[in-house]
Amino acid sequence: MTIRSKILGALQKSGVLCDDCLSEVTAITPRQSINICCRDMHADKVLSRPRETCPRCNRTKIINRLSNAQEVNSSDLPPVEAAGTEPNIPSSDHPWYWEGNVQDKILRFLKLQGYTVHSASDTAIRQQGKDIIASDAHGRTVWVTVKGFPEKSKNTQARHWFAGALLDLARYKDENEDALLAMGLPKGFTTYETLVRRTSSVRKYLGYAIYWVNANGTVLRDDTNETVAR
């Protein structure tokens, strides 16, 4: 039985559960596996992920609810779309450029490109650690730090977030010089695009790529010396 089918079975029985409770009910570990799969199912419109009180643990957090009350069979799930063409389905509580939505698009992009995703941080609860840990087709480690665009004090806060992302990548390089590093950002914001241009020497030293996420859900991989649309 797959992780997705176990989640479907648990939600069909319980109705509503948060990621933590789903992990306990299905005995699926690590918890990040539940989080990644539920985000994919949300993007496929199989379930919704509003912020409510979980009836099992009685805590207010992101919960999972099937999109309709009837049973959903795995054969009824929509097919995976071509890379970079998935529709933009932002969280109901946040704009498309929120960090969690940017992270979701990059995760789907990586998987469609043949990467293996090992873990993803839960941005809704500001979980610490690397935002995305993956490996490419050659087994090389990939670490991605992801930032959204702030809704308040936009330009000032964006500069702080970008500086934080650079610090993340510097720490990652010290931790593992062989890891492939990347930064994920929403595209279309002058502050981020200007900062990328003005820190080109830092980028050249760290050797990181940028995953630009557009409002329509497409993803552009911008390497150090060229931009490639995939």
Here the CATH number for the domain that contains residue 215 is 3.40.1350.10
Residue 222, domain extent: 99-229
- Domain presence at residue 29: yes
Average pLDDT, the chain: 83
Encode pLDDT of 107-133 as tens digits.
999 999 999 999 888 766 666 789 999
| pLDDT higher than 90, residue 186 | yes
**Residues 60 and 119 both lie in one domain:** no
**Residues 28 and 113 both lie in one domain:** no
- Domain presence at residue 215: yes
Q: For position 32, what pLDDT does the model report?
A: 80
Q: Where are the alpha helices (DSSP H) in 52-177?
A: 99-112, 154-175
**Residues 33 and 103 both lie in one domain:** no
Does residue 227 sit in helix, strand or coil? strand
Query: Which of 49, 67, 85 is the last residue before a domain boundary?
Result: 67
Encode pLDDT of 63-107 as tens digits.
999 986 444 444 444 343 333 333 444 444 678 999 989 999 999
- Domain presence at residue 40: yes
**Residues 121 and 215 both lie in one domain:** yes
Q: For position 70, what pLDDT does the model report?
A: 41
Here the CATH number for the domain that contains residue 46 is 1.10.10.10
**Residues 117 and 225 both lie in one domain:** yes
- Domain presence at residue 222: yes
Q: What whole-number distance in Å separates Cα of residue 42 and Cα of residue 67? A: 9
